[in-house]
Amino acid sequence: MKWEGQRQSDNVEDRRDEGGGVGGGGMRIGGRGIGIGSIVVALAAGWIFGINPLTVLGILSGGGDGSEVVAQQPQPGPAPKPPAQDKQAAFISTVLADTEDVWTAVFRAGGAQYQPPRLVLFRGATNTACGLGESAMGPFYCPGDRKVYLDMDFFDTLRSRLGAPGDFAQAYVVAHEIGHHVQNLLGITDKADAARRTSRANDMSVRIELQADCLAGVWAFHSQRGKGWLEQGDLEEAMNAATQIGDDTLQRKAQGRVVPESFTHGSSQQRVRWFQRGAQSGDPNQCNTLESRAL
C-alpha cells in the first residue's frame, strides 16, 4: 500500500501518554458499581467470543444490555496530536484521512453531509462516552462521542497471534470501525440497538458487523479508484484479516468448537463475502445486511 506522502487527518487524538490510568475502582453501569473481577470476565468474553464487553458488564451488573453507562469523561483541553516521527500513527492518520475523503464524496452524492469522527489512540485503558475502553476489547467505535478507539498494540496481536499481517489488514480494521460511524450517521445504530434488546440480539449484532465489513469494502473500492495506492496482495490481506477474526475461527482457536448461535460478528466466510461485496460494487446500497435473507 503506497500510503506515504498522502494527506493525514487532523482528527487523531493521541492519549497514549496517559499511561492507561483511569480513576475510581471501576465503572458504573445501570447505577451499580462494577469491580475489576467483572471487567476481567467481560474482556475475556469479548476476546474469545466476540461479545461486546459492555453488554457483558451490563448483564453482570443486573443492568440489562449495558446501554446505561456512566463513564468518567476525559479532562478538558486541546486534544494532543501524535508525534510527527511516529510512522504507525502517520499510517493510521493517512487511512483516516482517506476515509474522510471517500465518505464525504459518497454522502455528497446522496445529498447528505458527512461528519468525520475522531480517532483516539490510547494505551491500556481510556475513558469514553460508552464506558471504560480497554485494549483487550480490540478497536471499537463509541456512538456516544462519535469516536473510534484504537490501541495500536492490537495490530501486533493481529499479526502475531491471529495470523493477519500487512498494512492493508490494518487499514481494513480502521475502515470497519469507520463503517460503524457511517451506520450511526445514517440512524442504523439506533435501530439496531432497539432490536438488540429483543430475542434477535445476536442476529442483529451479526448483521450490523457484516454491514460494517461491507462498508469497509465500499471505502476500499473508492479509495483505490481515487488514489490507486493498493498494491498486489493488499485486498488479500484485508480478506485474510476478515477470515482470522470471524466468530467461527476465533471460537475454534479458543475453545476447539464452534457455537453458531453465539456469533456476534459473523463467520469468516460471511465477513469475507460482505467485504468483497462492498469492494466490488463500491455501492453502500449493496450493504443492506439488515434486510438480507441470506447472510
Do 157 and 263 share a domain, yes or no? yes
Report the alpha-carbon distance of residue 182 to residue 18 in Å, rounded: 29
Do 85 and 63 share a domain, yes or no? no
Which strands form 69-70's sheet, in the order they lie side by side? 32-34, 27-29, 69-70
pLDDT per residue as tens digits for the range 65-108: 444 444 444 455 567 888 888 899 999 999 999 999 999 999 99
pLDDT per residue as tens digits for the range 39-53: 444 444 444 444 444
Do 35 and 171 share a domain, yes or no? no
Do 89 and 51 share a domain, yes or no? no
C-alpha distances (whole Å) from 286 to each of 51, 169, 205, 246, 283 are: 26, 22, 18, 21, 6
Do 51 and 144 share a domain, yes or no? no
By the 8 A CB rule, do 127 and 73 touch? Answer: yes
DSSP tag of 294: -
Residues 29-40 have a mean pLDDT of 36
The reported pLDDT for the residue numbered 254 is: 82
Residue 295 lies in a domain: no
Residue 57 lies in a domain: yes
The reported pLDDT for the residue numbered 43 is: 45
SS3 142: strand
Residue matched to cell numbers 469494502: 217
Q: Count of domains in the chain?
A: 2
Residue 4 lies in a domain: no
Which strands form 140-142's sheet, in the order they lie side by side? 12-14, 118-121, 147-150, 140-142
Q: Report which of 168, 269, 155 is spatially closest to residue 216, judged by C-alpha positions.
A: 168
Do 32 and 93 share a domain, yes or no? no
Report the alpha-carbon distance of residue 293 to residue 290 in Å, rounded: 9
Do 54 and 200 share a domain, yes or no? no
Do 99 and 65 share a domain, yes or no? no
Do 123 and 235 share a domain, yes or no? yes
Residue 76 lies in a domain: no
Mean pLDDT across the chain: 80
Residue 123 lies in a domain: yes
Last residue of a domain, one of 71, 89, 106: 71
Residue 128 lies in a domain: yes
Host H or E run for residue 184:
helix 167-185
Note down the domain range covering 49: 24-71
Residues 157-181 have a mean pLDDT of 89
DSSP tag of 117: P
Do 54 and 172 share a domain, yes or no? no
Do 111 and 246 share a domain, yes or no? yes
Q: Report which of 23, 33, 22, 29 is spatially closest to residue 56, judged by C-alpha positions.
A: 29
Residue 2 lies in a domain: no
Do 35 and 116 share a domain, yes or no? no
% of the chain surpassing 70 pLDDT = 79
pLDDT per residue as tens digits for the range 102-118: 999 999 999 999 999 99
The reported pLDDT for the residue numbered 192 is: 78
